[in-house]
């Protein structure tokens, strides 16, 4: 690699100076540059150039060790001829008479020479020596790194610069010129007139020059790899040369092979020239500069770790959260400098100047957010490699303290606490727990687990530690059923109030139940009841938990749980009574004993008024479940939010799985397939012989995949579960129904009928005859019709219609009447399906309405009423297209073809495929209006706006809101687009 890239101008300057010196007009040329910019290589090349022109070259190189040795430069330049510098007495003994200036003799009575006089005498002798050499041949005097020279040598070189213009001597000196935290001493040219010195500053390598050097080393390297190397080289020739040397060692057999992905850590480099150069650079910059550089690297490393787990939103709508507080780039830059200075105990003004100087050199880059960062992660890692792990932990702890003082977000401070040593202050635990909650809400439980584990390293009161252990155990059990049992057991053993112990016991019992040990969980609850015999309120809470747990395993609840209890304490809600009444409402609904209106009246009475925090998840969770069945979807969403709020990251609560199920079921009830499939765990099977088995998210994901035409993916998800070994729970029953839906869509009605029948038998064993979320009779009737067994299909349909009339919601009634009409056929069947269509219009049951339109159209085709059939089926196609219901759209289009429809169906993609509502809403969004503004202006629910926008995106083939203006034709709706 050429070490003199982009140094031609300096070589020409030195060549011209050499020619002038040969002509008898000497001068001083000062080459200044930052560490690693090639000063030494340039001086060596110039010396070779001068030697080739017949000049005699005298060389000296200064080092920090030379500063304690006087006249070190002269000794290197003149060798033995400068031995007279060892003392005044040696001067006359070693210097020839021709070389010695005339010095008057002193008598014995006269005092000896002062130190200043001796220095002047030796300087004069050195000048005479230089003159003697210059008379013999033109001289090229090369002094490298003069900033490290001893004071005597620097003074002599300064004097020589004033006198050399009359001699054939070119004096070339290199000097480190770099902004450091500790202000450097004045340079050699300080105090010299510009007439005596020509200063040339070596600039960093340009990007083009650095790219050329990388290409020369690796001709076949990909462009992104070349760009990475250029960034890691930071415009520094020495640093880039060291990096390329390390990379070439990866392919010793073929040095021209392109480098693989540039690592982010120096541990992957061999032999390690790159980090060695960085360490040398920092050592030369001084201790204060090295501390600032490493503190900056500590701040940036935590930011990089956070970015690795927080990718930006795909649509780019969420604003980036800056780790450094500040309202504008300049304010954030000032805050960064202030924090770095306090961490390194340096002058903030000098740190600000250093950041600017290093950015100009190329080692740092300033982003649009105003923050300075290292040019490449590898450079940052090399800077940090000089600190031990203990020193890094201390720096992270200090960074956390400073960031908290500046008002940084909790997640930013927690990132440094995670890597730092213990703080032993209450705020550290508060920050880590708050950040863990943010990570849970953002769907990053692993990060939350890491923060909570780190929080346990801090000293805290037993009650506080129990809370952290419960939260941590909850998250660990969410990843694996028995993962956090030890943490929860530890929380139960800690001293504290009875109420806190009950909370820990509830978490531990729930974890055991989820891992398939419901009996053990109930045993622990009974033991805790005996310990709390004098606290009837808490005993009732424990029995309410037992009631809910026994719902998954009916035989596990022992008779003693039904024993009478004292009256509840105070005027607060009786949680056990509320749980039993909620269970009674649920049983009445599934058994077909009460109507949806009656059920809603009962749960509203139970949730009306204040509730104990322990009772809220129970009451509102069960209420949300019933509200979902009653098609009160908005109310159900509010109840879910109110139930989840007190739980936070406390995932091991008996109601938590019910709440998460309801949240997914609500999206499925609106036929929002995208939201269902976006659920993190929806498409990840869990194959285990014990534990929770399939969840509601899995069930709804299978159905959503079927409805969107992805049968193979749905089959893979179903095959990921061993249903014979899965627990006999409501969730498993519903998954059987989903597998039946898949098999029916795949053309296997007999196998689907078995799944529907098994689902019905298991639910009937729990006296659950009406299933709003998994209507197995409807599926079974459709399969029986496909198998030609109409009489059996009619029996199932009639029973479903009878139960639907009791529950009396449009969704359940419309669905039952639709399948009853299909099973009945003829004119009565047409009336039934027509009634189903009328019932389902204007409800959130869009998928059920499409199915009813298809059934009605099929019967109209059979009755030869083709015109009306086409009208119903075209509407089904349009609604299915908008909903993304690929399966239903295919069925409707097939019936249109069978009915003799000649004109093409509605376009499926492109602007022409948009409905009027979709076009209007998409046009307003393209103008820059938010979903809330659109909903308000059109008097629609926000969810409706989101649904129409999702359908518009799919039809237009776009994924971002910013793509709408280009994808849409000029809109006839609304005012002109607002100017940006």
Query: What is the three-state SS of 584-596?
Result: HHHHHHHCCCCCH
Contacts of residue 216, defined as CB under 8 A and 6 or more positions apart, other chains included, come to 1, 2
Given this model, what pLDDT does residue 608 score? 79
Predicted local distance difference test score (pLDDT) of residue 86: 65
Region 721-733: mean pLDDT is 79
- pLDDT value at 709 more than 50: yes
Averaged pLDDT, 789-810? 94
Mean pLDDT for 684-706 is 73
Q: What is the pLDDT of residue 280?
A: 92
Residue 576 pLDDT grade (very low, low, confident, very high; cuts 50, 70, 90): low
Task: Tell me the CATH number of domain 911-967, given options 3.30.70.20, 1.10.10.10, 3.30.1130.10, 3.90.950.20.
Answer: 1.10.10.10
Please check the confidence at residue 293 and state whether its pLDDT lies above 60.
yes
Q: What is the pLDDT of residue 23?
A: 93
pLDDT over 50 at 659, yes or no: yes
Can you tell me the mean pLDDT for 679-696?
62
Domain regions of the chain by residue span? 8-102+117-201, 205-309+324-387, 409-460, 775-906, 911-967
Among 127-131, 552-556, 928-932, top mean pLDDT goes to: 127-131
What is the structure's pLDDT at 692? 56
Structure tokens at 266: 């120096």
Q: Measured on CA atoms in the order 80, 82, 84, 86, is the torsion positive or negative?
A: negative
Position 570 pLDDT exceeds 60: no
Which has more confidence, 126 or 615?
126
- Tens-place pLDDT, residues 343-400: 999 999 999 999 999 999 999 999 999 999 999 999 999 999 989 999 999 999 999 9
Residue range 302-322: mean pLDDT, rounded: 56
Distance between CA atoms of residues 129 and 82, nearest Å: 9
Question: What are 29's two structure tokens?
Answer: 């040329």
- Write down the pLDDT at residue 652: 62
CA torsion angle 969 971 972 976 (round to 10):
-130
Q: Which pLDDT belongs to residue 953?
A: 84
Question: Is the confidence at residue 691, as pLDDT, over 50?
Answer: no
Express each pLDDT in 806-849 by its tens digit: 999 999 999 999 999 999 999 999 999 999 999 999 888 889 99
Give the percent of the chain with pLDDT over 70: 85
Stretch 530-557: mean pLDDT: 71
The pLDDT tens digits for 947-964 are 788 878 878 878 788 888
Share of the chain above pLDDT 90, in %: 47
Q: How far apart are CA 412 and CA 789, in angstroms?
A: 65
Q: Out of 265-279, 443-457, 906-920, which region has the weakest mean confidence (pLDDT)?
A: 906-920
**Three-state SS across 298-335?**
HHHHHHHHHHHHCCCCCCCCCCCCCCCCCCCHHHHHHH
| Residue 410 CB neighbour total at 10 angstroms | 20
488-492, 844-848, 906-910, 927-931: which has the minimum mean pLDDT? Answer: 906-910
For residue 303, what pLDDT band results from cuts at 50, 70 and 90? confident
Task: Give the burial class of 113: count Cβ atoms within 10 A of its Cβ; 0-12 exposed, 13-18 middle, 19 or more buried.
Answer: middle
Residue 979 has a pLDDT of 34
CA–CA gap between residue 307 and residue 380 (Å, rounded): 15
Contact predicate 711/703, CB 8 Å: no
- Confidence at 750, pLDDT banded by 50, 70, 90: very high
What pLDDT is stored for residue 277 in this prediction?
A: 95
Q: How far is CA 804 from the centre of its chain?
A: 47
Q: Where are the alpha helices (DSSP H) in 515-574?
A: 518-531, 536-552
Q: What is the pTM of this model?
A: 0.70
pLDDT value at 321 more than 80: no
DSSP 102-127: P-----TTSPPPPHHHHHHHHHHHHH
653 within 8 A of 695, measured Cβ to Cβ: no
Mean pLDDT of the chain: 84
Domain 8-102+117-201 adopts which CATH fold? Rossmann fold (3.40.50)
Does the pLDDT of residue 304 top 70, yes or no?
Answer: yes
Which tens digit of pLDDT belongs to each residue from 33-71? 999 999 999 999 999 999 999 999 999 999 988 777 889
Among 670, 668, 402, smallest CA distance to 682 is for 668
* Three-class SS of 776-788: HHHHHHHHHHHCC
**For residue 510, what pLDDT is reported?**
81
**pLDDT computed for residue 551 by the predictor:** 58
Architecture of domain 775-906: Alpha Horseshoe (1.25)
């Amino acid at each position: 690699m050429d070490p003199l890239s982009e140094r031609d101008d300096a070589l020409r300057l030195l060549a011209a100076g050499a020619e002038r010196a040969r002509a008898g007009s000497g001068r001083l040329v000062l080459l200044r540059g930052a560490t690693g910019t090639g000063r030494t290589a340039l001086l060596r090349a110039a010396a070779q150039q001068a030697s080739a022109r017949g000049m005699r070259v005298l060389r000296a190189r200064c080092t920090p060790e030379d500063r304690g040795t006087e006249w070190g430069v002269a000794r290197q330049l003149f060798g033995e001829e400068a031995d007279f510098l060892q003392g005044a007495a040696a001067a006359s003994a070693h210097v020839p008479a021709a070389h010695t200036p005339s010095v008057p003799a002193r008598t014995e009575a006269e005092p000896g020479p002062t130190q200043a006089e001796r220095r002047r005498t030796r300087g004069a002798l050195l000048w005479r020596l230089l003159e003697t050499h210059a008379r013999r041949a033109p001289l090229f005097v090369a002094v490298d790194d003069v900033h490290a020279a001893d004071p005597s040598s620097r003074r002599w070189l300064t004097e020589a610069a004033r006198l050399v213009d009359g001699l054939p001597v070119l004096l070339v000196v290199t000097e480190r010129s770099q902004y450091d935290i500790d202000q450097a001493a004045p340079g050699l040219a300080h105090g010299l007139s510009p007439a005596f010195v020509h200063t040339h500053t070596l600039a960093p390598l340009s990007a083009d020059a650095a790219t050329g050097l990388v290409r020369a080393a690796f001709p076949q390297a990909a462009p992104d790899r070349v760009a990475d190397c250029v960034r890691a080289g930071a415009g520094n020739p020495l640093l880039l040369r060291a990096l390329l040397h390390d990379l070439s060692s990866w392919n010793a057999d073929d040095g021209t092979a392109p480098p693989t992905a540039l690592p982010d850590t120096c541990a992957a480099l061999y032999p390690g020239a790159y980090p060695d150069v960085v360490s040398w650079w920092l050592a030369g910059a001084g201790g204060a500069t090295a501390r600032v550089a490493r503190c900056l690297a500590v701040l940036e490393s935590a930011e990089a770790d956070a970015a690795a787990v927080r990718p930006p939103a795909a649509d780019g709508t969420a604003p980036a959260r800056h780790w450094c507080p500040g309202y504008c780039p300049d304010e954030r830059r000032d805050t960064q400098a202030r924090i770095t200075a306090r961490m390194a105990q340096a002058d903030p003004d000098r740190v600000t100047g250093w950041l600017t100087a290093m950015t100009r050199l190329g080692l740092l880059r300033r982003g649009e957010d105003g923050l300075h960062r290292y040019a490449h992660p590898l450079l940052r890692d090399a800077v940090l490699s000089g600190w031990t792990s203990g020193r890094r932990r201390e720096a992270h702890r200090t960074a956390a303290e400073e960031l908290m003082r500046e008002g940084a977000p909790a997640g930013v401070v927690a990132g440094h606490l995670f890597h730092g040593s213990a703080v032993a202050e209450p705020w550290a635990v508060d920050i880590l727990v708050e950040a863990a909650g943010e990570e849970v809400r953002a769907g990053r439980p692993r990060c939350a687990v890491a923060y909570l584990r780190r929080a346990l390293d801090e000293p805290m009161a037993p009650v506080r530690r129990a809370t952290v252990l419960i939260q941590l155990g909850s998250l660990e059990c969410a990843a694996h059923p028995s993962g956090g049992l030890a943490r929860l057991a530890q929380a139960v053993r800690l001293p504290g109030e009875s109420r806190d112990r009950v909370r820990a016991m509830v978490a531990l019992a729930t974890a055991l139940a989820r891992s398939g040990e419901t009996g053990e969980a109930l045993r622990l609850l009974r033991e805790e009841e005996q310990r709390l015999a004098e606290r009837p309120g808490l005993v009732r809470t424990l029995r309410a938990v037992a009631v809910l747990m026994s719902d998954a395993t009916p035989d596990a609840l022992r008779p003693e749980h039904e024993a009478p209890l004292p009256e509840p304490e105070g005027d607060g809600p009786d949680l056990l009574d509320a749980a039993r009444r909620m269970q009674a409402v649920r049983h009445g609904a599934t058994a077909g004993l009460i109507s949806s209106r009656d059920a809603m009246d009962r749960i509203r009475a139970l949730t009306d008024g204040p509730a104990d925090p322990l009772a809220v998840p129970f009451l509102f969770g069960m209420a949300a479940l019933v509200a979902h069945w009653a098609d009160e979807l908005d109310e159900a969403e509010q109840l879910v939010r109110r139930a989840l709020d007190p739980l936070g990251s406390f995932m091991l609560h008996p109601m938590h799985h019910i709440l998460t199920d309801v949240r997914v079921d609500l999206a499925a009830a609106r036929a929002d397939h995208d939201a269902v499939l976006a659920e993190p765990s929806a498409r990840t099977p869990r194959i285990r012989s014990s534990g929770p088995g399939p969840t509601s998210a899995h069930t709804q994901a299978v159905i959503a995949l079927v409805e969107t035409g992805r049968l193979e993916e749905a089959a893979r998800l179903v095959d990921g579960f061993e249903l014979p070994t899965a627990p006999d729970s409501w969730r498993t029953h519903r998954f059987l129904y989903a597998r039946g839906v898949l098999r029916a869509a795949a053309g296997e009605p007999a196998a689907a009928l078995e799944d529907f029948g098994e689902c019905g038998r298991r639910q009937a064993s729990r006296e659950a005859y009406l299933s709003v979320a998994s209507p197995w009779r409807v599926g079974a009737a459709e399969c029986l019709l496909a198998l030609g067994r109409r009489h059996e299909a009619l029996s199932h349909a009639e029973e479903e219609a009878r139960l639907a009339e009791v529950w009396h919601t449009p969704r359940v009634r419309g669905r039952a009447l639709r399948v009853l009409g299909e099973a009945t056929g003829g004119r009565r069947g047409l009336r039934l399906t027509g009634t189903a269509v009328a019932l389902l219009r204007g409800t959130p049951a869009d998928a059920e309405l499409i199915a009813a339109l298809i059934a009605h159209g099929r019967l109209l085709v059979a009755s030869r009423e083709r015109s009306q059939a086409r009208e119903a089926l075209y509407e089904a196609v349009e609604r299915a297209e908008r909903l993304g219901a690929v399966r239903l759209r295919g069925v409707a289009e097939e019936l249109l073809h069978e009915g003799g429809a000649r004109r093409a169906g509605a376009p499926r993609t492109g602007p022409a495929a948009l409905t009027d509502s979709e076009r209007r809403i998409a046009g307003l969004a393209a103008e820059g209006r938010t979903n809330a503004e659109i909903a308000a202006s059109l008097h629609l629910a926000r969810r409706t706006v989101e649904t129409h926008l999702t359908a518009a995106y799919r039809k237009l083939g776009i994924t971002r809101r910013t793509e709408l203006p280009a994808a849409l034709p000029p809109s006839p709706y609304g005012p002109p687009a607002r100017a940006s």
